[in-house]
Structure formats: C-alpha cells, structure tokens
Chains A and B, each alone.
Chain A
Amino acid sequence: MAEYTPEKTLDARGLKCPMPVVKTSQEIKNLAVGSVLEVMATDPGSVADIQAWCKSTGNELLGMEKGEGLFKFYIRRVK
C-alpha cells in the first residue's frame, strides 16, 4: 500500500468540482519540492481531474487508490 510516505494528507472528501483540484494546488505549495501529498477525495470526477491537473502543472502523480467511494492520490511536488 504505502510505497510513498506522504508529508501531508489533504482531506478533500465531500468537496465537488473544482474544489479538490483547487485545494490540492494550495496545499502542495506548503510542501517542499520532492515531498509527497496525499489527497483523499470522494468526488468521482476528481479521478480524471487530478490527473489532468498534474499534467497541467507538471507535478507527478505517483499513484492512485480507488476504494469504496473513496479515492486516494499520491502527488509528488516537482516544482
């Protein structure tokens, strides 16, 4: 499971578009470059959106876990 040790966890459960992405962008700025942010979300749209956001911003999506109505993303801050 935990191949990455997240520096911090962002609880974006219950939030709808565009908030999971917006909060992720704000939260990752508080981490050092190279650190990993874990994002927990319940919005099914966030699966596509977090990937798209990583592509736009150049941050690295290390992995994704899909559970029962819960999604976890592991994002490494690249810049």
Chain B
Amino acid sequence: MSSEANKASIVVFSGDMDKVMGAFIIATTAAASGIETTMFFTFWGLQALKKKVPTGRTLFERMLSLFLKDINGIGPSKLNMGGMGRWMFKKMMKQHEVATLPELRQMAIDLGVKLLACQMSMDVMGIRREDLIDEVTDVVGAATYVAEANQSHITLFV
C-alpha cells in the first residue's frame, strides 16, 4: 500500500469559505487514510493561513489588506451578501454539527498535513511570514509543489 508515490497534493487558490472547507475535508481524510498530504496555498487561498492582522507596507498592499480575511472571516463563494451568507452558513453547519473551518485546519495540522505558502503570492500581496500562522510548514515556490504533485496519485486544484 505505502508505495513511494502514495501522496496527495492540493493547490488552494480560492479564498472562499466553502471551497477552502472542501480542500481541508479532503486533506484531513487523505491524511487519515495514511496518505502523505500537502496543501499549497496561493493567492486568495493564503487567507486560510493568515492571522487576523493588517498586512502590507505600500499603499496598494494596505488597500488590499482591507479585503484580506483570516480563516474565520472568509465568506462563501456564492450568496455571501456582505457577510450575511457567511453568518448563515456557519449557523447551518453548526446545526448539522459539521466541524468548523478552524477545527478542520487544526485537525489537518494534528494529522501532519504539510501547509505550504506560496512565496510569490506573498511578495505580490505584501504578506510576510509573520502574518501567517506559526504552523505553516514552509514558504515555497511552484517547483516544490510540482515535486510533491509528481509523487501524488491525488492532485487537486481548489
């Protein structure tokens, strides 16, 4: 079973609550199934790793910072309605006792899922390492992801 190619790698490009949730659900399940799992967070996906802090130094970076959330702040890809949708979905998920997004991220960390952050996106958006949670495994480039993906039976782009 555990051949050298038994890995899973997931690109998290989106920063939407529902999409990030799907990514974490699959990542935790893969890790729980004994598959070495890597998540590569790029562009909007970096919000899933961001602390609730203002980011950026330049004018543009600080303007962008106003729209960058943390894992609790990101809203669904549809029907967000200025935050109403986020509130509604959180309520509905709680009613159904579904694990929350922060719980899923913590579970991924506990299961040893590697959380990689994209260096280039961070540079462009003015996000520094200290703006991200400590549990981020590494800050890397596309080649690191490709090397992981090349050994993975499961590769997803979310």
Contact of A21 among B29, B96, B98 (CB under 8 A): B29
Q: How many residues of B contact A (CB 8 A)?
A: 16
Looking at the assembled complex, report how far the CB atom of B2 sits from the nearest CB atom of chain A, in whole angstroms.
Answer: 9
Chain A residues positioned under 8 Å from B130 (CB to CB): none
Cα separation A40 to B29 with both chains bound (whole Å): 18
Classify the interface of chain B: helix, strand, loop or mixed: loop
Contact call A22/B97, Cβ cutoff below 8 A: no
Looking at the assembled complex, report how far the CB atom of A53 sits from the nearest CB atom of chain B, in whole angstroms.
Answer: 6
Nearest B-chain residue to A15, judged by Cβ: B97
Q: How many residues of A contact B (CB 8 A)?
A: 15
Cα separation A15 to B93 with both chains bound (whole Å): 12
Nearest B-chain residue to A28, judged by Cβ: B32
Classify the interface of chain A: helix, strand, loop or mixed: helix
Whether A16 contacts B96 in the complex (CB less than 8 A), given A22-B107, A58-B1, comes out as yes
Those of B75-115 within 8 Å (CB) of chain A: 96-99, 107, 110-111
Contact call B33/A57, Cβ cutoff below 8 A: yes
Nearest A-chain residue to B27, judged by Cβ: A18
Chain B residues positioned under 8 Å from A33 (CB to CB): none
Whether A56 contacts B99 in the complex (CB less than 8 A), given A18-B28, A22-B107, comes out as no
Cα separation A26 to B28 with both chains bound (whole Å): 11
Residues of chain B whose beta carbon lies under 8 Å from any beta carbon of chain A? 1, 25, 28-29, 31-35, 96-99, 107, 110-111
